[in-house]
Structure 1
C-alpha cells in the first residue's frame, strides 16, 4: 500500500535488513507483544541475544563487534521493529544509539573493549542516565553531581524515566562536575547505585522504565568517559536516538494504517464494507499521504546523515513531523475500528498509547518546535 514506492529507493543491502527485521518482528514479537503489554513486561534476557545475533544492537557503529551499517539501513530496522512495538525499538535505540554510542564516541579504548563487543552481542545491556525528576527538557540544570575525592569520583543524584534502567549491566550517567558535565560508566552492583522500576504506566508497557539513584557512589578515574566534556556529549547521543525515532514512528503508523485498511475491507455495516463509504476512504487516504510524506522525510534525512551533512535541526524536523504524523494515523485508525479499536486484539490502541511517550521522549514536541523556531528566526525562545 506504499503508493509512492519509497522503498524502491533502498539498496539491496537495505532491503535485506528490512526483510530480516520484518520477519523477526512477525515471528518472534507480534504473537506475544500484546500479552507483554498487558502484563507490563519485556523479556530482555531472551530478546537481547537474538537482536545481537541479527546485528541490530549498535548496528550503525563500526568495530568492536558492531556491524557498521549505513544510516538508512539502521533506520529501516527501527521502522520494522517499531511496527511490532515501540518498546522493542526503544530497547534497541537505548542500547545502540545512546549507551553504546556514548562509549563508542567518548570512551577510552579500554572501555570500548570491555563493553562494546558484549553489548553488540546482547550479552550486556546498557542504559543512559540524563533525564532527572525535576529536569527533563532542561538538562543544563541537572542536580546529579560528581566530586573528586582523592583519585576517585563520588556521585550523588537521581535519574528518571530511564529505559532499561533496572536490567542494565552498565549505566551511562551524566553529572555536573567543577569542570563541566561529564559522563560516567556505572556498572550494576556498584555500592550506592540502586534502581526502581516505574509501574502503573499506560504507555510503553512492554518496556522497562526505571529511576536510578546514586548515593555516594564511588567510581575510579577510569570510569569517566574521557572523550567529551559539557552537554554536547549527551546531546550528541540524543541526536542519534532521535534519528532512529524518525524511522521508527513510521513503523508504528504503518501498522495502524494496515490494520485499518484490512478492517475497512472486511467490516460490514448497512449491508456493505465500511471501506466503501466516503468518510472512511477519506481517513485512509490521509493516512496514506501522511505515511508517504514521513517516509520521504526519513529517507532524505538518512541520506544526508550518510553523506555527513545532517544537522540537529533537520533531525528535530524529522522527529517532530513523523511522530505527530504517526500519532494522527493511530487516532484515525482507532476511529475506523470503532469500539474494536480500544482492545488489544488489534495493535492500534497499543501503538497509540506508546506514541504518546514517543512524542515526549528524546525531546518533547515543544522543544523540537522551538529548535525549528530558532532555526527559522535566529532567535532563541528557550529562556
Structure 2
C-alpha cells in the first residue's frame, strides 16, 4: 500500500549537548534508525535529506538557532512541514509547554528524561503519523472512487438523454443532426451571455454545462404527435398546427413525470423542462403554448428559441428549401425584440461565424441540404 513505512522508522535527534545525543541514541537505536544533529542548521539539512525522518526530537535551548526557530523553518518547508516534532527540553514551566505546543510541536517532554516516557511518546507519535498516512491514502482512494462513479453516472445520464432525443428523432427523421447543432448553438450563446449583467447570475459554469446537457430534449414531446401530422409532406392545416403545438407541453409533462419518479430533484431536468415547454414562446408574447412575454420566459428557453429557429431556417424540409446562412441571420436580426430577447439575438449576431461552423460540422448528408452563405 502506498504510504507504508520501513518497519524501522527514522528518528532525528537534535541537541547541542553530546551527552544528550549519546543518551538518546542509546535509548532509541534498538528499535529505530537514529540520526543526530547538534545545531539548528544541521537539523534543517538532515530533516530535508534522505532518509527523511519520521519524527524529530528537538531541543529548545540551543545557540544561534533555538528549537522554536528550527520548528518554524521546518513548518515553512513543504518537504519537512509534515514531520511531527517533539520538544525535548529543560524548560519545565507550564507556560513553556503551552508555548511549545502552540508553536506547532506534537508533544513536549521535559528533562531530565524518563526513558519509558520518551519511548511511549515516540511510539505514540509514530503511530499517529502512520495513521495519518493511511487515512490520506484511504481518502485518496475514496475521492478517486467518487470521481469514477460521478463520471460513470454522467456518462449514463448523457447516453440516456441522447437515446431519448434520438427516439424523438426517429419520429421526425428530417431532424437528423438537429439535436447536435442546437445543443452547440445553445452552448455558444450561454458562453457569450455569461458576462452580460442580465444573465450572469443564471449562467454559472454549472448551469452552462446543464444547458448543454438538457438541450437535446427540447423536442422530446414530438413523440406524442401523430405520424400523419409529424410526417406530413407539406404545410399543416390550422387544426393540424394546433395539435402540432401541443408537443411543447407534452415534452415538459413527460420530463415532469420523470422528475416525480426521481428520488430527489435533478438539476438538468429542471432546465430541460423549461426548454421543452417554452422554447416556442416569443419575446413579444405572441408565441405558444402559454403566450409568455419578455423576462417571464425562462432564460434557457430564450436561448433555445434562437438556436431552434436558426437551425430550422437553414435546414431543408420536404415543404421548403434551406435558407442561406446570411438570410437566416438577417431574419433573426429583424426579429430582435419581437420573437427574440434582444440581448440573445445580439449574442447570436456576434457569434454568427461560430454558428455557421457548427452547422457545417453537423451537416445532414449532402451539403446541398444545408444553407450556404450568400
Same fold (TM over 0.5): no
Structure with max Cα Rg? 2
**TM-score interval for Structure 1 and Structure 2 normalised by the shorter chain:** under 0.3
Give the TM-score, by structure 1 length: 0.20
Q: Structure 2 length as normaliser, TM-score? A: 0.21
**Greater strand proportion:** 1
Higher RCO (CA-CA < 8 Å; seq separation 6+): 1
